[in-house]
Each structure stands twice: as C-alpha cells, then as structure tokens.
Amino acid sequence: MRLAALTALVMTAFAANSILNRMAVGPGLIGATDFALIRAVAGAATLGALVLMQRRALPLRSRRRIPGALGLAVYLLGFSMAYLAIDAGIGALILFGGVQLTMFAGAVIAGEAMPSRRWIGAALAMAGLAWLVWPTGAVALPIAATAAMLAAALGWGVYSLVGRRATDPLAETAANFILAAPLCALALLAVQGAGPSATAQGIALAILSGAVTSGLGYALWYAVLPRLEASVSGLVQLSVPVIAMAGGVLLLNEAVTPRMAGATLVTLGGIAYGLGAFQRTRGSSGS
C-alpha cells in the first residue's frame, strides 16, 4: 500500500507538471526554452540545497549521470517546445505512447518477465488514452513538434530506466538537474530572441514546476523506480493524462464529457488489469 501511495503521488506530480506547462507556455506567459531552463535551474537549486544541508556529496562525476542528465535535458526541452505547435491531447498520446514503448523495450532487453496480461493491459490503456485525448475535427501533426515530443518521450524513458539503479535518489536527482541545466541554457542561447518574453507569472509557474513537481517529484520517482519492474513503471505512467485531465477540470474549469468518463474507465481499467500480474508476483514473493 505504501508503494502504491508513493507511486500515485509521483503520478500526480507528473500531471501537475503538464498543467503548469500548459498554464505558462500555452497562453504565452513564457517561452518554451525559458520555461525548461528555469524549471531545470529551480530543480537543481532546490535539490542541491537539500543535499548540501544534509552534508552529503553530489555524484556529479559518476558515469551513470551522463545518460540521466542527457535524458532529463532532452525531455525538458522537447516537452516544452512540442506544446508550442501541437495539440495538447495528441502531444500527451505521443509522449506517453513513446515512454511506454521505451520502458517496455528496456524491460525486454533486460530479460524482464512480461506476462501477457501486461501487454493486454497496456494496449487497453493506450486505447483508452487515445479515446480520451484525440481531438475532434482535423488532426495536425507538425513535423518539428512531433519530433520534439518523440525526443521527449525517449529522453524520459531513458531517464526512468537509469533511475531503476538509483541508490541515493535525492542526490542523484539533484546531480541530474545540475548537469541538465547548462544543456538547457545552451538550447536557450541557440533560439535567443524567439518566442514571447517571460512574464513574472510565467517565471513563477516555471519555478514551481522545477522546485516542487519536478525536483521533489523526480527525486521521489527515483526512490520508487528500483522497486518497480520497467514495464510496470511504463504502464502506471499512462495514468498521468487522466490525472492531468482531472486537474484541468478542477483548476482550469474544463468541462467533463461522457467521452472523458468512458475513456477514463477504459484507461484505468487497462492499467489495473496489466498490474494484476505484478501484484500477484509481489504477493507470492513476500509470502
């Protein structure tokens, strides 16, 4: 129950990141690269301060930090830049579909047992997610934005797979953010002058996203990941768009429709079905 509660808390933090990004970048309160950079710096400052306050070392020179920091930077930049030109629903489908494929591929390469019901559950959840987020009318898939979101999915998948070997979640997440921040700064210099100017509200939303829902949320994710199979980690993340939708209803006054209700049931039902084998495996190993 404790693992389930912590995982649910992490998924809520991920959904909050999506909402904060939409609130800041969508209406032009801040540029996409500005948001990603401030988010990375805020996360680095918050987590770095917590580690130093505990008089612990930051593993900045560990070779394992390279894929973690690169994956995080690619995700932060791709995620923010993609939403400039792609429908939020399609963006979520591309992102979490790509993450799912990356995590399942990592599980297969690692030789992880993959029960058939996990594949079926993932397919059901993806179908429900597609039903939930697919826009009405014509669908536009700008090449650059689609590529950015696919890159973000790959980056996050790699970041999560690396996190399954985390032994010091807080310090390792802090190091990832500290190393990712300069990469985001280089990207900002490359597109300097593009996009809207940052407003105080946009900066505040980016800081909140970086310090709390990203920094602390990702540290908790690294604490949870070693206790989850890679395929389970990918499957549970399909709940994030559903949580983000609920947040949009509560915070952004978005309307609830029968389609939302039905798609939510299919998505969560698929996740629950796919997790059945994981629960039985944990139960038998603990008996």
Q: Which pLDDT does position 62 carry in this prediction?
A: 79
pTM score of the predicted model: 0.85
pLDDT of residue 282: 53
Q: How many CB atoms lie within 10 A of CB 72?
A: 28
Give pLDDT < 50 ranges for the chain.
Answer: 284-287
Long-range pairs for 110-115: beta carbons < 8 A, 24 or more residues apart: 110/230, 112/229, 112/230, 112/231, 113/229, 113/281, 114/231, 115/277
CA nearest to 104, candidates 7, 218, 8, 237: 237
C-beta separation of 64 from 179 below 8 A: no
Using one digit for the tens of pLDDT, what is the confidence trace for 146-170?
899 999 999 999 999 999 988 999 9
State residue 285's pLDDT score: 47
By the 10 Å C-beta count (0-12 exposed, 13-18 middle, 19+ buried), 119 is classed as middle
